[in-house]
Amino acid sequence: MADTELAQAQEAISPVGVHSPTSIKPHRLNNHALACALLASTNSILLGYDIGVMSGAVLFIKENLEISSTQVEILVGVLNVSSLIGSLASGKTSDYIGRRYTIVLAATTFLIGALLMGLAPSFPFLMAGRVIAGVGVGYSLMIAPVYSAEISPAMARGFLTSLPEVFIVFGILLGYIVNYALSGLPQHINWRLMLGLAAIPSLLIGCGVIAMPESPRWLVMQGRLDDAKQVLIKISDTIQEADFRLNSSSAKWHGHGVYKELLLRPSRPVRRMLIAALGINFFMQASGNDAVIYYCPEVFKDAGIHSKKVLFGVNVIMGSAKTSFVLFSALFLDRFGRRPLFLLGSAGMALSLAVLGMSSKFLEHSNSKPMWAIVLCVVAVCGVVSFFSIGLGPITWVYSSEIFPLRLRAQGSGLAISVNRLVSGVMSMTFLTISKKITFGGMFFVLSGIMVVATVFFYVFMPETKGKTLEEIGALFEDKNAEASIDYGREMG
């Protein structure tokens, strides 16, 4: 980067500089930026579909392959554990081959895994397919929010970066619908179709993403300023906005020494960023949301619902509620901000899990299984997934991808997603075992307590990032007065 360009970048990076984004703030959402974020986020539908469809398919797999409950837990959880490989590798991969081709790699890997699962003649073969699919999931969970954050203007970044969660939830609902539609087929066919159908969207996504432009921030990182400028002109409303976003990007960087800066010798702001990113990803999965969705049919069977058709119908109702609330969160995230929705979502989950625990405990000690208690269980589960979709679901991806500076973003986000996947795998592989020891009701009370702790964590450690540029966000983690300084600087600018 030339000296004059470096000087411009350094001046624009200053949170109180005269190059204030308010003067070039877009009045509407740029259509090209929206299309890019939508295409990148469609990759996340693959994880959602797997979560939704596996919750039903596992009932048939258990009977058809005659596997134990422990094997069921391993089968469900191994995808999340193997996604650690993808999430840990995603940072360096996306820094070297680019954000766009990392999305293609994620879709291709999941395609191979889906085909293996759909054609699986035995349990080991099925496990191999889920391990490969999990690697693809790990890649997609990191790269979609990072690409969306880097392509988005500051005032629309919350909406665009939350789109991956919207597609995860849509994938879950799609999986529930496929469960319901194919449940009447012969047992040795239906679950293979349920799992194998995931190959179709992964193929379409891998081809569609080729049409996307590369992330302009990655292009700047490679020193390709002219290419970055051309992309920014397309995704910005004015030339002035494109110039500002180009100048606000950091100097050329190849990712060397990133883990040393993140883990071994982090500065105070980087340490606070890391605590925030790791914390929200930990609590996202420690909430038990994925496990509740995976094993929801088991929970409702224990509550007294035994018809598979009815179980899958309840899942569709739950998926519809989850979809409605994640759309609400995505649409209003940039208006209400991250913190209020974080706190509302986690507190609502704590309350819903407590109600679910009480109703489950009542049914455990009731021989008659009254309908009102079963309905209360269904409503409470819908509450759990809905509050998750308001707060932790979409905002975790937004926050994890926007708080790190460019030089640390890909690998910092990858590290945070690795914690996410590890905790999700542990929860998925132990949920049934622990529930057998302390009952489902006891398990839900434990999860409710975890969400109380999560609410306190969010209140203490999560500064508001709404409306800030990716460069200004770094200043929020410097000290408690940084946000006021940024706002004052904008007013003076």
Identify whether 254 is part of a domain.
Answer: yes
Identify whether 400 is part of a domain.
Answer: yes
Q: How many residues does the chain have?
A: 493
Q: Is the pLDDT of residue 9 over 50?
A: no
Identify whether 76 is part of a domain.
Answer: yes
330: region left, alpha or beta (phi > 0 left; psi from -120 to 50 alpha): alpha
Cα(384)–Cα(447) distance, rounded to whole angstroms?
11
Taking alpha carbons only, the member of 128, 196, 147 closest to residue 44 is 147
Taking alpha carbons only, the member of 106, 91, 104, 108 closest to residue 221 is 91
Identify whether 408 is part of a domain.
Answer: yes
Expressed as residue numbers, the domain containing 20 is 11-492
Distance spanning both ends of the chain, measured CA to CA: 26
> What's residue 28's pLDDT?
62
> What's residue 259's pLDDT?
67
> What's residue 479's pLDDT?
58
Going by pLDDT thresholds of 50, 70 and 90, the confidence category of residue 269 is: confident
Each residue of 137-171: pLDDT tens digit? 888 877 887 888 788 776 676 777 778 778 888 88
Q: In the chain, what percentage of residues exceed pLDDT 90? A: 14
Question: Please, what's the b/e burial string for 466-475 (b: 16 or more CB within 10 A of its CB; e: otherwise)?
Answer: bbbbbbbbbb
Q: Is the pLDDT of residue 256 over 60?
A: no
Each residue of 185-226: pLDDT tens digit? 888 888 999 999 888 888 888 788 878 888 888 888 888 888
Q: Which residue has the tokens 């708080």?
A: 403
Q: Maximum CA pair distance of the chain? A: 78
* 3-state helix vs strand vs coil in the chain, percent to 5: 80, 0, 20
Q: Which residue has the tokens 């509407």?
A: 28
Amino acid occupying residue 180: Y
Taking alpha carbons only, the member of 83, 68, 48 closest to residue 424 is 83
Alpha carbon 338 to its chain's center = 15
Taking alpha carbons only, the member of 148, 146, 157, 24 closest to residue 468 is 157
Number of domains making up the chain:
1
Q: Which of 251-255, 314-318, 440-444 is predicted least confidently? A: 251-255
Average pLDDT for residues 122-148, to the nearest whole number?
87
CB atoms near residue 313 (< 10 Å): 16
Q: What is the CATH number of the domain that holds 366?
A: 1.20.1250.20
195 with 57: CB under 8 angstroms? yes
Cα(180)–Cα(438) distance, rounded to whole angstroms?
31
CB atoms near residue 492 (< 10 Å): 10
237 with 27: CB under 8 angstroms? yes
Q: Is the pLDDT of residue 297 over 80?
A: no
Average pLDDT for residues 329-341, to the nearest whole number?
83
Going by pLDDT thresholds of 50, 70 and 90, the confidence category of residue 492 is: very low
Cα(202)–Cα(106) distance, rounded to whole angstroms?
9
Strands (DSSP E) contained in 221-341 are none
Cα(40)–Cα(161) distance, rounded to whole angstroms?
10
Q: Is the pLDDT of residue 342 over 70?
A: yes
Each residue of 298-328: pLDDT tens digit? 777 777 777 777 777 887 888 888 888 888 8
Rg of the chain over Cα atoms, rounded to whole angstroms, equals: 23
Query: Which residues lie below 8 Å from residue 214, measured CB to CB, with a gap of 6+?
Result: 98, 99, 100, 227, 231
Cα(445)–Cα(26) distance, rounded to whole angstroms?
46
Q: What is the mean pLDDT of the chain?
A: 80
Identify whether 266 is part of a domain.
Answer: yes
Going by pLDDT thresholds of 50, 70 and 90, the confidence category of residue 2 is: very low
Identify whether 378 is part of a domain.
Answer: yes
Cα(454)–Cα(460) distance, rounded to whole angstroms?
10
Identify whether 3 is part of a domain.
Answer: no
395 with 281: CB under 8 angstroms? no
Structure tokens at 335: 């208006």
Q: Is the pLDDT of residue 67 over 70?
A: yes
